[in-house]
């Protein structure tokens, strides 16, 4: 009798433990274009602690609802919904079990696509000029739709530009590697990244041969509210049409020039000379000025004229101050600009990004990992990016498996250390 009682107690404990460890993740998928529930859409649950492995898969019912078993509720998960060649994601942090996701109908082209800001960051070292171009574009389609296709956003690069890295970041998403493809016209490139409703950001890092001075002739493929040139204060800047450019004052160590309402076909040519690197501390300074990584407003009491707004008037570039100087959070900064590749990023990346999502682990400003938890977050984000690259066909299956095996091993060690802390 005593043995039977003990066995029943043990079984009950095991059952309760299993019930506590296993739960369902539930949610609803809605179509933001039609305003109706999205029925029959495939939903996938990804286990981030196991390297983006598919933990469960299902389809939504007639009301757009879904439910999937989620093992290990104390580790982060990600819900992915793919619809009309675009993917939509929702993080499921430890301790939560719900995910509400909104998808949109796809369109190859919309009229409501506008540019917020185009930033060109220039540095020079020896006979090489390093350039980062940053773009923020907004999709204001009504009803909202996602732009999909082989070339959703086009850019024009200078003659002789050699692309080093390229990233894209959707609204409230993580930066992912997305290298544009050459188009028919020379020096024209197109991103295949979906443009979801809201603001999408792109980054291109490239280098050019440099002989001590150079003329850069930007060719805008889209209109932008602001066109910005950032270069070290040690380098010279001379615009062909100086009346178009207005300096942004009080930017220590940098020279920031801004053109408002820039349009395709507008002559924005400028000459740069000398050498120098943008100071590394500009990222922190700009982040502090703009109220953190999310780009808050800034009190600016400068008098009116140029880009200096009247007292108490909102600064049109306030939300981009950190982006302009720090490089969107996924751009390289300061002297660490030079051609950072994935292996280096794995060892050093922990840079923050402008959204509230996890830190980016693409070609980012190298930041020392101060704890096991920071490394853990960087590894999880790198796995997320690696999975996206595989889905986009940016890497081969062999490259995917090689990088994933190395990341899985590092992630497991980081998880072990984080558990012991």
Give me the half-sphere count of Cα atoms (radius 13 Å) on the Cβ side of residue 93: 4
Both tokens of 15, joined, read 């059952």
Residue matched to tokens 């509230």: 356
Which residues are registered as beta bridge partners of 224?
A: 115, 262
Asked whether 293 and 322 are in contact (CB, 8 A), the reply is yes
Tell whether omega for the bond before 383 is within 30 degrees of 0, i.e. cis: no
What is the model's pTM? 0.69
Q: How far is CA 209 from the centre of its chain?
A: 28
Which residues are registered as beta bridge partners of 190?
A: 154, 181
The percent of the chain in helix, strand and coil, each rounded to the nearest 5, is 25, 35, 40
DSSP reduced 3-state for 296: coil
For helices 372-392 and 397-420, angle between their N-to-C axes, nearest 10 degrees:
160
The per-residue pLDDT for 320 is: 63
Residue 278 to residues 322, 349, 364, Cα–Cα distance (Å): 14, 19, 15
Quote the CA–CA distance of 139 and 34 in Å, as a whole number: 17
Burial class (CB in 10 A: 0-12, 13-18, 19+), 256: buried
The per-residue pLDDT for 112 is: 84
Asked whether 212 and 187 are in contact (CB, 8 A), the reply is no
Burial class (CB in 10 A: 0-12, 13-18, 19+), 149: middle
The per-residue pLDDT for 28 is: 98
Quote the CA–CA distance of 260 and 266 in Å, as a whole number: 12
Asked whether 191 and 168 are in contact (CB, 8 A), the reply is yes
Q: What are phi and psi of 182, to 5 degrees?
A: -65, 140
Q: Give the contacts of 76 (CB within 8 A, at least 6 positions apart).
A: 48, 49, 91, 92, 93, 94, 380
Per-residue pLDDT of the chain (421 residues; tens, 9 = 90+): 555 656 655 555 444 444 444 689 999 999 999 999 999 999 999 988 767 789 999 999 999 999 999 886 678 888 999 999 999 989 888 888 899 999 999 999 998 889 999 999 999 999 999 999 999 999 999 999 999 999 999 999 999 999 999 999 898 777 888 999 999 999 999 999 999 999 999 999 999 999 999 999 999 988 999 999 999 999 999 999 999 999 988 778 899 999 999 999 999 999 999 999 988 755 444 444 444 433 333 333 332 333 333 334 445 556 665 555 544 433 333 222 222 333 333 333 333 333 333 333 333 333 333 344 555 555 666 666 666 666 656 778 777 777 777 766 666 665 665 555 5
The per-residue pLDDT for 298 is: 38
Residue matched to tokens 């280098």: 207
Both tokens of 294, joined, read 């999310």
């Amino acid at each position: 009798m005593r043995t039977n009682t003990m066995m029943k107690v043990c079984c009950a404990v095991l059952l309760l433990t299993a019930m506590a460890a296993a739960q369902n993740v539930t949610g609803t998928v809605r179509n933001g274009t039609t305003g109706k529930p999205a029925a029959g859409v495939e939903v996938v649950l990804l286990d981030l602690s196991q390297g983006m492995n598919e933990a469960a898969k299902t389809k939504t019912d007639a009301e757009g609802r879904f439910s999937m078993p989620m093992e290990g509720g104390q580790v982060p998960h990600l819900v992915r919904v793919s619809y009309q060649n675009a993917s939509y994601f929702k993080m499921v942090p430890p301790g939560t079990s719900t995910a509400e996701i909104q998808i949109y109908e796809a369109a190859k082209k919309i009229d409501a696509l506008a540019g917020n800001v185009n930033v060109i960051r220039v540095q020079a070292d020896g006979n090489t000029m390093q350039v980062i171009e940053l773009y923020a574009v907004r999709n204001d389609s009504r009803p909202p739709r996602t732009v999909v296709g082989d070339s959703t956003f086009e850019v024009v690069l200078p003659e002789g530009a050699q692309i080093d890295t390229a990233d894209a970041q959707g609204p409230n998403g993580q930066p992912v590697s997305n290298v544009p493809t050459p188009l028919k016209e020379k020096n024209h490139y197109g991103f295949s990244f979906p443009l979801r409703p809201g603001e999408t950001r792109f980054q291109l890092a490239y280098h050019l041969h440099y002989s001590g001075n150079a003329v850069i002739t930007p060719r805008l493929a889209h209109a932008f509210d602001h066109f910005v040139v950032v270069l070290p204060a040690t380098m010279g800047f001379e615009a062909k049409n100086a009346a178009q450019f207005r300096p942004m004052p009080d930017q220590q160590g940098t020279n920031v020039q801004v053109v408002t309402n820039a349009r395709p076909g507008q002559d924005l040519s400028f000459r740069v000379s000398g050498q120098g690197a943008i100071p590394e501390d500009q990222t922190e300074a700009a982040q502090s000025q703009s109220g953190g990584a999310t780009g808050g407003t800034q009190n600016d009491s400068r008098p009116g004229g140029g880009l200096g707004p009247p007292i108490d008037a909102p600064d049109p570039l306030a939300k981009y101050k950190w982006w302009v100087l720090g490089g969107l959070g996924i751009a390289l900064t300061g002297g660490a600009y030079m051609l950072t590749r994935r292996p280096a990023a794995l060892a050093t990346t922990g840079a923050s990004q402008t959204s509230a999502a996890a830190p980016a682990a693409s070609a980012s400003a190298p930041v020392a990992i101060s704890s096991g938890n920071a490394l853990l977050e960087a590894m999880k984000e790198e796995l997320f990016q690696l999975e996206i690259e595989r889905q986009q066909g940016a890497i081969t299956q062999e490259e995917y498996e090689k990088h994933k095996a190395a990341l899985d091993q590092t992630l497991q060690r980081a998880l072990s250390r984080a558990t012991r802390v």
